[in-house]
Structure 1
Amino acid sequence: MSTLTIRNLDSATHRGLRLRAAAHGRSVEAEVRAILDDATRRQRRGNIALAFRDLALAEGGIDLDLPPRTIDDDHRAVELD
């Protein structure tokens, strides 16, 4: 396990952490660990659309074949006069 020291923490921030920790029934240290774990977990989860975009860009892009457009009985052309 690693150790992290935070210097020059504002007293209002420390007070807020103490109140938040008490509301969750844990120590300030455990509360800070939970906050950091949650923040990094959310960052790791990320956005799947952005992940796919980044993969495609890394490969130089992706060309998708589009199906041919046809007009059938259910779909008719619109006439604009």
Structure 2
Amino acid sequence: MPTLSIKDVPEPWAEALRQRALRNHRSLQGELMSIVEQAIGGGPLPPAAGMVAEGVATEEIDRARPRIVGYDKRGWPIVRQGWKTPEQVVAELRRKYPEPVHDQPLGADILRQERDSR
């Protein structure tokens, strides 16, 4: 990826950017990337050459990037990281484990037995 550099930034601007990054719980680099992303329209970035596997949709790449989905009561951003929805996780687990396990003890039973052995 190319590297961008900004020279001769006035100190008040640099400090304001550092404070903004702190408020948003980001590094200065992350805050600057967020500002640039907003400036170019906030749309999904084109995938880097050689970085995308065959058959991966741009929508999946966009979902892989952390994004702010809301703010908590203190005003801190709620960041969604990851690209799988709960439905996708459940479907993946059902494919991986199609039959429930019946012959094994439950986790609660194991903990109870461990506790009672003391």
**Structure richer in helix, relative to its length:** 1
